[in-house]
């Protein structure tokens, strides 16, 4: 990654505990310059996740615009993940009150303006359904050259998690995902293949409480809450899905990746939302994304802890 100039980012998501932790990682990295936060309905309704965006911005002292995006997918009904993320979409920790009003611009208008005004191409980190990103690509196709990369958490090339075939973010708006994968912009795909390996265990996140800063304490509380439903499902820890979409940018050396062609299926009782990979190049299509397939879990957790340490506080407890 070029470290001479800060890399402009747009954070687009539906926080959501793992979205919020991904944004902690982005805010902690001095190589990134977060230009805007845009909310999309997904883990909870747009009203709830938009408010979460403003509170996360306050927690991280981000003096940037937060804009509301789409309330529903492009053509489908909205599914939410309240069973996992709680009534607010970000239960488990008391967050500071928002410091700024919402942007007067819609998410798509704000994203377009950031792209238009940026001297350097912008990375969009999309950790919810790709609805806002697809709407941007449809409304402003001339701005595609200003997009350096879209890094998403979404899909699964071997399995799903909301159905046997489909992952939650993709299934929520398959049409939006299809538009993104066929738009001709670079895509970095962090799907379940890697994110289900990005596990943090209770003893590891207890370390965060010894850092004695509000961000670390908040992340630990988020993990406490997020672990409740996952434990019921048999997981021993928490799968940090969305943070992969940030750390794969900042620390690609801890990941394994493959350039491949991925398509999104839009119909079928069992296949809607499936992300299909042409593993052996039999379709004749050129690769349209870089899929992240594996990671060094211990280094991944260490990077999260170090990111939280960077927000200040005392030494860890002995």
pLDDT for 195: 97
Based on the residue annotation, tell me whether 241 is a catalytic residue of this protein: yes
In what side-by-side order are the strands of the sheet with 255-260?
A: 65-68, 32-39, 7-13, 122-126, 147-153, 187-190, 289-295, 255-260
Each residue of 72-89: pLDDT tens digit?
999 999 999 878 888 999
Each residue of 103-144: pLDDT tens digit?
999 999 999 999 999 999 999 999 999 999 999 999 999 999
Residue 111 phi, psi (nearest 5)? -60, -45
DSSP state for residue 166 in the 8-state scheme = B
Whether 48 is covered by a domain: the verdict is yes
Whether 175 is covered by a domain: the verdict is yes
Asked whether 17 and 120 are in contact (CB, 8 A), the reply is no
Looking up residue 158, the CATH number of its domain turns out to be 3.90.245.10
Stretch (H or E) spanning 249? helix 243-250
Helix (H, G, I), strand (E, B) or coil at 163: coil
Each residue of 173-222: pLDDT tens digit?
999 999 999 999 999 999 999 999 999 999 999 999 999 999 999 999 99
Whether 281 is covered by a domain: the verdict is yes
Whether 130 is covered by a domain: the verdict is yes
Task: Please classify residue 28 by burial: count the beta carbons closer than 10 Å to its beta carbon, then call 0-12 exposed, 13-18 middle and 19+ buried.
Answer: buried
How many independent structural domains does the chain possess? 1
The active-site residue out of 85, 100, 182, 241 is 241
pLDDT for 314: 52
Residue 67 phi, psi (nearest 5)? -120, 145
Averaged confidence pLDDT in the chain: 95
The whole-angstrom separation of Cα 297 and Cα 247 is: 12
Calculate what percentage of the chain has a pLDDT beyond 70. Answer: 97
Domain that includes residue 90, residue range: 7-309
What is the value of pTM for the model shown? 0.95
Whether 129 is covered by a domain: the verdict is yes
Whether 2 is covered by a domain: the verdict is no
Cα three-residue angle 305-309-311, rounded to 5 degrees? 130
Count of all residues that appear for the chain in the document:
318
Cβ–Cβ contacts within 10 Å for residue 232, how many?
Answer: 9
CA atoms within 13 A on the CB side of 18: 30
Whether 128 is covered by a domain: the verdict is yes
Cα→Cα distances 111→89, 115, 140, 308, 318, Å = 23, 6, 10, 28, 45
Helix (H, G, I), strand (E, B) or coil at 81: coil
Whether 1 is covered by a domain: the verdict is no
């Amino acid at each position: 990654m070029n470290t001479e100039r800060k890399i402009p980012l747009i954070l687009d998501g539906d926080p959501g505990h793992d979205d919020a932790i991904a944004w902690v990682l982005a805010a902690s990295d001095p190589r990134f310059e977060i230009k805007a936060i845009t909310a999309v309905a997904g883990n909870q309704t747009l009203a709830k996740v938009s408010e979460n965006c403003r509170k996360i911005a306050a927690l991280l002292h981000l003096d940037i615009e937060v804009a509301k995006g789409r309330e529903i997918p492009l053509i489908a009904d909205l599914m939410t993940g309240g069973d996992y993320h709680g009534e607010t979409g970000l239960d488990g920790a008391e967050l500071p009150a928002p410091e700024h009003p919402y942007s007067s611009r819609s998410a798509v208008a704000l994203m377009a303006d950031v792209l238009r005004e940026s001297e350097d191409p912008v990375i969009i980190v999309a950790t919810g359904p790709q609805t806002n990103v697809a709407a941007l690509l449809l409304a402003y196709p001339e701005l595609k050259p200003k997009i350096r990369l879209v890094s998403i958490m979404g899909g699964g090339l071997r399995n799903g998690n909301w159905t046997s075939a489909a992952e939650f973010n993709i299934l929520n708006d398959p049409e939006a995902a299809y538009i993104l994968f066929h738009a001709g912009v670079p895509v970095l795909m962090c799907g379940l293949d890697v994110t289900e390996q990005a596990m943090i265990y209770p003893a590891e996140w207890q370390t965060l409480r010894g850092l004695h800063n509000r961000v670390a304490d908040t992340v630990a509380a988020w993990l406490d809450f997020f672990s409740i439903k996952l434990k019921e499902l048999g997981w021993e820890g928490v799968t940090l899905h969305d943070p992969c979409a940030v750390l794969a940018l900042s620390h690609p050396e801890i990941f394994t990746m493959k350039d491949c062609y991925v398509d999104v299926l839009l119909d079928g009782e069992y296949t809607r939302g499936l992300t299909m990979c042409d593993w052996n190049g039999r379709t004749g299509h050129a690769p349209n994304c870089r899929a992240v397939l594996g990671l060094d879990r211990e280094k991944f957790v260490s990077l999260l802890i170090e990111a939280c340490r960077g927000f200040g506080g005392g030494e860890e407890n002995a």
